[in-house]
Structure 1
Amino acid sequence: MSNETNSRTLTFALEVVPVPVTDIDRAISFYTTKVGFDLDVDYHPTADFRVVQLTPRGSKCSIHLLATKSSERLHNLYLVTSDLSEARAELINRGVAMGDARHKDVLEAWSGGWSPGLDPERRDYASFADFADPDGNTWTLQERGHGKP
């Protein structure tokens, strides 16, 4: 086998994240009506088999809803937005219970502390707000690209 570097670069793309839920129909309603995801697939040829895929608008990664009786949930799934204030207000208007906006305290030397509200300079990766789906899977909105075309 040759030690020469292969000119082909291997890449990976995260395309689907499975999200455990107890009620598929309730989850579809929450993610489409309240959060604004697009329903890509709802395939259920039998009572025991169903594939549901939803995609956040503008994302290349989708979620699959997995019916489960388990209490295990996913936490801190990130949705990135260019305007956290607007996104948070829209979700609240749609009926999503949102946490307060917060930003990294002393961004340049951040050590885990938070201050209330948006980052005063609206810097990338500095402002956040959270919500949960009806099953307790948690999502974090993060601002990146505010004011940029």
Structure 2
Amino acid sequence: MDYSLEVLTVPVSDVDVSLAFYKSLGFAVDVDYHPRDGFRVVQVTPPGSACSIQFGEGLTEAAPGSAQANYLVVQDLAAAHAELVARGVAVGEIRHKAPEDMLAAGLDPERRPYASMAVLTDPDGNTWTLQEVPRTTGG
């Protein structure tokens, strides 16, 4: 049996502020459905992703900002970081895994998959870790 992760729900306090933030990341707006007061669904998809993110009103009882340690994978972390900064998004410094599970400044010198990361936070405090997984060739 195959399973495909399609949507993650992120709790937010202000749908319009969150929509503006995720659009600033370059995410495509798939759905903005508001059929009645007290219920709204917004679904956005990161470029190149098969999984979308949804938020809105009346979707979850989780506290805004409680979605922590979510990961977005990018092929080139330095390029993604620079693009987000150019868009005006506050992104943490690039760090990489060092011996004994410590984090050191900058990209992993060997550019190992899953070794380099930077964190960004949405307006409610939900966190997203950008993690570098370079595309491999061959094989």
User: Is the TM-score greater than 0.5?
Assistant: yes
Q: Distance in 2 between matches of 1:16 and 1:69?
A: 16
CA contact (8 A) 2:9 2:55 kept: yes
Unaligned ranges ≥5, structure 1: 1-9
Which runs of 5 or more structure 2 residues have no equivalent in the other structure? none
Would you say 1:120 and 2:105 are equivalent positions? no
* TM superposition shift of 1:70: 3.1
Report if aligned partners of 2:12, 2:65 keep a CA contact under 8 Å in 1. no
Matches within 5 A, 1:33-72: 34-67=24-57, 70-71=63-64
Are 1:31 and 2:26 an aligned pair?
no
- Runs ≥4 in structure 1, deviation > 2 angstroms? 66-72, 146-149
**Structure 2 residue aligned with 1:98:** 91
Number of equivalences: 135
Deviations 1:26-78 (A, max 9, x none): 1011001x211100000111122211110001001001103368345111111
- The answer for the alignment partner of 2:74 in structure 1 is 81
Q: Equivalent of 1:21, from 5, 12, 16?
A: 12
State the alpha-carbon separation in 1 of the partners of residues 62 and 102 from structure 2. Answer: 36
Name the CA distance, whole Å, in 1 between partners of 2:104 and 2:36: 50
Q: 1:148 to 1:116 in 2, by over 3 A?
A: farther
TM-score by length of 2: 0.89
Alpha-carbon spacing, 1:117–1:78, altered in 2? closer, same or farther (3 Å): same
Q: Please, which moves more after superposition, 128-137 or 91-100?
A: 91-100
The percentage of aligned residue pairs carrying the same residue is: 51
- Supply the distance in 2 between the matched residues of 1:66 and 1:148 (Cα, whole angstroms): 39
Please give the root-mean-square deviation of Cα atoms over the aligned residues, in Å: 1.9
> Match for 1:126: what amino acid?
A
Deviation for aligned residue 1:147? 7.5
Answering whether residue 115 of structure 2 is matched by residue 133 of structure 1, we say: no
Paired residues of 2:74 and 2:80 also in contact (CA < 8 A): yes
Return the index of the structure with the highest Cα Rg.
Answer: 1
TM-score scaled to structure 1, two decimals? 0.84
In 1, Cα distance between the equivalents of 2:48 and 2:74?
10
Rounded to whole Å, the distance in 1 between the matches of 2:86 and 2:80 is 10
